[in-house]
Amino acid sequence: MHHYKEIIASYADKPGGLIEAYHAIQKEMSYIPEEAIAEAAQVFKLPVSQAYGVATFYSMFSVKSRGKNVIRICESAPCHVAGAAEVIAALERELGIKMGESTADGKFALELTECVGQCQATPVITINGKPYLDVSPAKIPDILGEYK
């Protein structure tokens, strides 16, 4: 059970509370569900459209359900040149999903990202923000194994 109501309540009196609450909810659920946006609108006394607008304005928030462990593959030029496409293919094969999708068991989501500032060791992926450097298709099963 997710307790987004308690999370929202705990930020109700804080300045910038709405964004902080969204961060906390996303950290726990990996996205911000519609019910949580409706609840936030009520608590922060905003029209739902505005609470929704805040959640969709920032690219760090997702309002779409997605897998708990968010895997991002850097697609900027240095990673691309170093073989990001092969890493993407390996991830898609291993997880049985395509880029932008989540696994049916809700464990993993695959997304693309811009450079994450680790270009010294391309290609790079991140899982829940943790960077993995010098990734190759052969390393994918072990990396994913840490999250299974």
Residues within the interface to ligand FES (CB under 6 A):
74, 76, 78-79, 115-116, 118-119, 122, 124
CB of 122 to ligand FES, least distance (A): 5
Q: How far is CA 85 from CA 34, 80, 81, 100, 113, in A?
A: 34, 7, 9, 14, 13
Nearer to ligand FES, 62 or 118 (CB): 118
Q: By C-alpha distance, which of 58, 1, 2, 55 is closest to 32? A: 55
Nearest approach in angstroms of CB 31 to ligand FES is 24
Q: Is the CB of 54 or the CB of 79 nearer to ligand FES?
A: 79
- Which of helix, strand or coil describes residue 1? coil
Residue 12 neighbours by CB under 8 Å, 6+ apart? 43, 44
Residue (35 or 134) nearer to ligand FES, CB: 134
Residue 28 or 114: the one with the smaller Cβ distance to ligand FES is 114
Other beta carbons within 10 Å of 118? 18
Least distance in Å: CB of 114 to ligand FES?
A: 8
